[in-house]
Amino acid sequence: MPRAENADEEVRPAPERRRRPTADDRMLTFHSRLRERGLKSTGQRDDIARVFFELRRHISAEELYAEVKKVNPHVGYATIYRTLKLLKECDLLFERHFDEGQARYEVAGEHHHDHFICDRCGKIIEFENDDLERMQRAIAQKMGVLLTHHKMELYGLCADCRTRQ
C-alpha cells in the first residue's frame, strides 16, 4: 500500500460501510413517506420505485422507463418523471447532472460520495474522501456562505480505457 501521499489512505471506494438498506426497506420507507404526505400508493409507483431501488445506480429516465416497461408495460413516461420527482421529495433519490444532456438518478441515503466519469466509456466510479469533505466545509466557512450541498466530479480516462487506448 503506497503511503507517499496521505490522500492514498483516505481514498476508498464508496460502497457501504454499514449495512445497506434493501430494496424492501426502501419500499417501506417510501410507503410511509407517502402516507405522511397524504399521498397514495399505487401499482405504478411501486413498480417504478422497486425497479429503481433494485437497479444499478446512475440510471437515466429513459433507461428506467425501459426497465419498468419490462415489469409493467402500461406505465407512461409522465408517470416515470412524476415518480422520480416524488422520490426526490421523499429524500430517497438524488438527481445528478453530469456532462450530458439528460439527468441521472441514484438512490439516496447512503454515505456521501463523489464521482469519477470516464470520458470514453461513460463508466461512473464512486469514491469518498473525508479530507475533501473537510476542506469543502473550510472553504465555505471562509467564504461566509452556508453550504447545502456540493458536487465534485472528476473526468478522464478510467484504468481500462487508459490501457486499451
Least distance to DNA from the beta carbon of 59, Å?
11
Task: Please give the Cα distance from 66 to 62 (Å, whole number).
Answer: 6
Contact residues for 159 (Cβ-Cβ < 8 A; gap 6+)? none
Task: Please give the Cα distance from 83 to 19 (Å, whole number).
Answer: 26
Per-residue x/- mask for a copy of itself, residues 146 to 165, rule CB under 8 A? xxxxxxxxxxxxxx--x---
* Ranges within 119-148 binding a copy of itself (CB under 8 A): 119, 125, 127, 129, 131-132, 134-148
The entry of DNA, a copy of itself, none that residue 129 binds, CB within 5 to 8 Å by partner kind: a copy of itself
Nearer to DNA, 91 or 130 (CB): 91
Using the CB atoms, write b or e for 19-57: b if 16+ within 10 Å.
eebeeeebbebbbebbeeeeeeeeebbbbbbbbbbebeb
The entry of a copy of itself, DNA, none that residue 79 binds, CB within 5 to 8 Å by partner kind: DNA
Q: Does 40 participate in binding DNA (rule CB under 7 A)?
A: yes
Least distance to a copy of itself from the beta carbon of 45, Å?
25
CA triple 31-36-38, angle to 5 deg? 90
Longest dimension (CA), the chain: 56
Q: Does 111 participate in binding a copy of itself (rule CB under 8 A)?
A: no
Query: Quick one: cell of 3?
Result: 503511503
* Ranges within 91-150 binding DNA (CB under 7 A): 101-103
Contact positions vs DNA (CB under 7 A): 34, 38-45, 60-62, 72, 74-79, 81-83, 85, 101-103
